[in-house]
Amino acid sequence: MENTILKIVNLSAGFGKNWVLKNINLEIEKNKVIAIMGPSGCGKSTLIRCINRMHEITSGAILEGRIYLDGKDIFLMPPVAVRRKIGMVFQRPNPFPTMSIYDNVIAGYILNGIKLKREERDRIVEETLKKAYLWEEVKDVLYKRGVFLSGGQQQRLCIARALAMDPEILLLDEPTSSLDPKATSMIEELIIKLKKTVTVVLVTHNRAQAARVSDYTAFLYLGEIIEFDKTSRMFTAPKDKRTEEYLTGKFG
Ligand SMILES: Nc1ncnc2c1ncn2[C@@H]1O[C@H](COP(=O)(O)OP(=O)(O)O)[C@@H](O)[C@H]1O
Ligand SMILES: [Mg+2]
| pLDDT (tens digit per residue) in 190-211 | 999 999 999 999 999 999 999 9
* Ligand 1 probe mutation, 17, 46, 51, most atoms within 8 A of CB: 46
The rounded Å distance from CA 43 to ligand 1 centre is 6
Question: Helix, strand or coil for residue 154?
Answer: helix
Q: Is the CB of 41 under 6 A from ligand 1?
A: yes
**What pLDDT does 65 receive?**
98
Distance of alpha carbon 33 from the chain centroid = 10
* Atom of ligand 1 at shortest range from CA of 15: 4
**What pLDDT does 81 receive?**
94
Are the C-beta atoms of residues 46 and 12 closer than 8 Å to each other? Answer: no
Q: How many CA atoms lie within 13 A of 148 on its CB side?
A: 12
- Is residue 251 very low, low, confident or very high in pLDDT (cuts 50, 70, 90)? confident
| pLDDT (tens digit per residue) in 117-149 | 999 999 999 999 999 999 999 999 999 999 999
* Atom of ligand 1 at shortest range from CA of 220: 22
Q: Is the CB of 46 under 6 A from ligand 1?
A: yes
- Is residue 1 very low, low, confident or very high in pLDDT (cuts 50, 70, 90)? confident
pLDDT at 79 over 90: yes
The radius of gyration computed from the CA coordinates of the chain, to the nearest angstrom, equals 18
The rounded Å distance from CA 19 to ligand 1 centre is 10
The rounded Å distance from CA 233 to ligand 2 centre is 25
Average pLDDT of the residues in 9-22: 98
Cα dist from 181 to 184, 188, 199, 250, whole Å: 5, 10, 24, 24
Amino acid identity, position 102: Y
Q: Is the CB of 49 under 6 A from ligand 1?
A: no
The rounded Å distance from CA 15 to ligand 1 centre is 8
- Classified by CATH at the fold level, domain 4-247 comes out as Rossmann fold (3.40.50)
| pLDDT (tens digit per residue) in 147-202 | 999 999 999 999 999 999 999 999 999 999 999 999 999 999 999 999 999 999 99
What rounded mean pLDDT belongs to the chain? Answer: 97
What ligand has the least distance to the C-alpha of 219?
A: 1
Percent of the chain with pLDDT over 90: 98
Report domain extents, the chain.
Answer: 4-247
In degrees, to the nearest 5, what angle opens at C-alpha 82 toward C-alphas 42 and 172?
40
pTM for this predicted structure:
0.97
Got the DSSP string for 28-75? EETT-EEEEE--TTSSHHHHHHHHTT-GGGSTTEEEEEEEEETTEEGG
**What pLDDT does 82 receive?**
97
